[in-house]
Structure 1
């Protein structure tokens, strides 16, 4: 039975939406499961008034590739004014909310700590709390499900727009559940409501929901890319291409200086699971790292929903670092040149220690389990679909 989205249940909640000036935080992923209507059309059909639209990274229509865009060019005739919440401004101002009586959030997330839509939501929750405005989340599935919680919990000292609130890398929450977690974590005084889904459990990954793949952002065109983004995102901290700008982002990794035969054989000798197959692959990105250059590396294909890609991504990164220590470069944080971006994406310094040979992959996995178990206990009472 197909999962029913929170958006598809709003008509039942007239007491929440009717007669209110609504600020809608959304993008192109805010659509019905049959793709026939976006949330603006659904709200209009219900007689609900959208007074202002707020948009995240990539913009309302998904045209931006990780940068702030001019939302005035995205505004459709007769629709509410659009305010971007990406770039220098990430939180609605008091002026933005002056005539707003209700904030509503509806976007497709991917269940990973470093995905920015989560923070667009929490920053807006803070603004709503400060303004005394109720906040509603129209819940959608976590495509990676709630069974696998893995990766380090980020240190509070490393908080940023790609990681905060001591979340594990793969947190296992829907955005509705994450909203309750953030409210509790931050001690936020906020009238928070979640319009829950139907026919959904936290055990479900995307293929079990019966839903079409709802592309959340340009670099995640399919579910398979998202499986490998869990872990593969760490390569964004380096000068190794993670496949952005190619036909298979986060499924292909490489650089012009790699010997793909050597990397292939070394990873084959070290691999510990059967959840992924991989092959040698050369590719030419059209944008991003090495645009227009031939990159030599590997292409991955997931076979199992149950095996996490993070260990494989770290093994591949270590092989490349060991073989090309003079060529691999990790970028520094803009705000702190003493901190490499890898530490922020991973959540602490253990990934660097692993690459330096100071700790083993087993050490990392044991720490993930301990931290994941603690996190699971802390959110047990907040689960909506168990």
Structure 2
């Protein structure tokens, strides 16, 4: 079984540090034990908690994440999502070690990875040691999609990362260190027994990374179906299967299904009506499909094909600026082929010396 950094760390080596922990509900070991509980049971000094999007308690998407005082731990909890542009040295004045342990998903539009970059920049600026408890990449070593152009940086795309970047949390930290030219004291507690495989082959339980990725199947679909959040289609938010549903009240589900089966004969999907409880088309019947993804399905290719399909509907609306931020392709609707044919050699050469695992 793969062991993440949280399972490998020698906790007694941290007994002289005042720790600022960057974590959330996903920060558990292979036994399901929470990292904050582990630190306290080892007698370590935990001074502050820093939390990304969805906060400490798996808050629903869109909820404001604010600072608060933890009632049980008796320490400040500081949001690093949405409420401030950067972490100041004043916030770190009683911390001499930042520890980072959060499960991300291996896709560049996942906001947790920008919390990592921001905390690393703060550590470099303020002279604080940074410790990563590495976590394997749920999608394995696969890399796909164009690198994000420098001029379109945002909290869902930046630092010239490709869409699917194929790095562990620790390797991504090394990427940031190199890309941002950070002078930082960085230590990585490496995973054990990981050789680039995706989640199903690791022997680990599914550690829900965010509210709308309740299963590995939802993550496989999210890779490409996420782009439709820049449109007026429902991606299944507000249902029990986010990103595994796609549709709208004005879609012809029979025609959509036949199109997909013709384009992707090995794709398993079914015609589906669904009713989102919130978000797009809340309490309305949407017509579309339900996906049953396999690991070798390429939902980036499926998404591009579906954008081509939906262009025939007069009702289909696109937020072109937001779509550009998701895909990294300027004028995506005119240049869809660039998303599928982009040359990744420059990225692979850049990260070759950063890889910690086979």
- Output one character per residue of 1:273-298: Cα deviation in whole Å (capped at 9) or x when no partner: 62x31111111111111111111111
Q: State the SS of the aligned residue for 2:262.
A: helix
How does 1:166-205 map onto structure 2 within 5 Å?
A: 166-202=160-196, 204-205=197-198
Residue 45 (structure 1) aligns with: 41
- Output one character per residue of 1:167-200: Cα deviation in whole Å (capped at 9) or x when no partner: 1000001111000001000101101111111111
Q: State the SS of the aligned residue for 2:92.
A: coil
Q: Distance in 2 between matches of 1:103 and 1:141?
A: 20
- Number of corresponding residues: 358
Q: Distance in 2 between matches of 1:33 and 1:71?
A: 29
> Does the 8 Å CA contact 2:109/2:156 hold for their aligned counterparts?
yes
Q: Distance in 2 between matches of 1:292 and 1:94?
A: 47
Q: Runs (4+) of structure 1 moved beyond 4 Å?
A: none
Residue 329 (structure 2) aligns with: 348
Residue 220 (structure 2) aligns with: 227
Residue 77 (structure 1) aligns with: 72
Across the aligned residues of Structure 1 and Structure 2, the Cα RMSD in angstroms comes to 1.6
Q: TM-score, normalized by length of structure 1?
A: 0.89
Shift of 1:77: 1.8
Residue 86 (structure 2) aligns with: 91
Shift of 1:254: 0.5
Shift of 1:106: 0.4
Q: State the SS of the aligned residue for 1:150.
A: coil
User: CA 1:63/1:364 → structure 2, altered by over 3 Å: closer, same or farther?
Assistant: closer
Q: TM-score, normalized by length of structure 2?
A: 0.96
> Does the 8 Å CA contact 2:231/2:317 hold for their aligned counterparts?
yes
Q: Distance in 2 between matches of 1:351 and 1:133?
A: 41
> Does the 8 Å CA contact 1:350/1:364 hold for their aligned counterparts?
no
Q: Which runs of 5+ in 1 are unaligned?
A: 333-339
Residues 180-189 or 37-46, more deviating: 37-46
Q: Distance in 2 between matches of 1:101 and 1:309?
A: 43
- Output one character per residue of 1:234-283: Cα deviation in whole Å (capped at 9) or x when no partner: 01111111111111111110111111111111222222x62x31111111
Q: Among 319, 322, 332, which residue is 1:331 paired with?
A: 319
Q: Among 271, 274, 283, which residue is 2:274 paired with?
A: 283
Q: State the SS of the aligned residue for 2:2.
A: coil
Q: State the SS of the aligned residue for 1:302.
A: coil
- Output one character per residue of 1:86-107: Cα deviation in whole Å (capped at 9) or x when no partner: 1131532222111111111100
Shift of 1:377: 1.9
How does 1:189-268 map onto structure 2 within 5 Å?
A: 189-202=183-196, 204-268=197-261
Q: State the SS of the aligned residue for 1:83.
A: strand
- Output one character per residue of 1:298-331: Cα deviation in whole Å (capped at 9) or x when no partner: 111113x23321101111122012x21x322222
Q: Distance in 1 between matches of 2:121 and 2:88?
A: 11
Q: Distance in 1 between matches of 2:43 and 2:72?
A: 19
Residue 296 (structure 1) aligns with: 287
Q: State the SS of the aligned residue for 2:200.
A: helix
